[in-house]
Structure formats: C-alpha cells, structure tokens
Amino acid sequence: MSFLRRLRDYLVSVVLSTYAKQPLIFTSRGNLPLSDLTHEVEWRVTDQQTIFIERYLLNGEVVKQSAHVCIHQGAEALGAVST
C-alpha cells in the first residue's frame, strides 16, 4: 500500500470519527457542528397567516435562517383563481 493511500485512509478515518459523533449543519460559515450553534424559533400568528422562523446563531451572528409561511385563506376564496 502506498504512502499516499495510507495517509488518505488515515485522514478519512480521523474526519469520520470526529464528525460522525456530532451532526453538522450547512451555514453561511460552512458546515458547523450543531452543538456550537444557538437555535432560536419564532412564531408570528395572525388571522391571515402563520409564520414560523428558525435561526441558527454562532456567537450572536445569524448563520442560517429559514421561514415557513402558512396562509389561512386559500387563493380561490380570495378570488385569485377563476374556475
């Protein structure tokens, strides 16, 4: 077995043993261990819609954010869709 192949196998085993123990999440700062981040959720509920916002912060900086919106009144009821 060549030196480079042994080195590659060793590095792969080190990386896998390190990161297999803790889940990673893709952020604006690259893949980060979930344990290093602060997780926040926010709900905004009105009669018209519900918004769920999820944030991941690293030392107070938002590194990942997503929002999910549920509109309570459908497009057909609003007259936006013709039949």
Would you say residue 58 lies in a domain?
yes
Would you say residue 30 lies in a domain?
yes
Would you say residue 43 lies in a domain?
yes
Model pTM above 0.75 = no
Would you say residue 38 lies in a domain?
yes
Which helix or strand (DSSP H or E) is residue 34 part of?
Answer: none
Would you say residue 18 lies in a domain?
no
Our CA angle for 78, 81, 83, nearest 5°, is: 120
| Number of domains present in the structure of the chain | 1
Would you say residue 6 lies in a domain?
no
Would you say residue 10 lies in a domain?
no
Q: What is the pLDDT of residue 82?
A: 58
Would you say residue 4 lies in a domain?
no
Question: Residue 38: how many CA atoms within 13 Å on its side-chain side?
Answer: 7
- Which residues neighbour 15 within 8 Å (Cβ) at sequence distance 6 or greater? none
3 state DSSP class of 16: helix
Regions of the chain where pLDDT drops below 50: none
Q: Which domain holds residue 47?
A: 23-83
Q: What is the pLDDT of residue 9?
A: 81
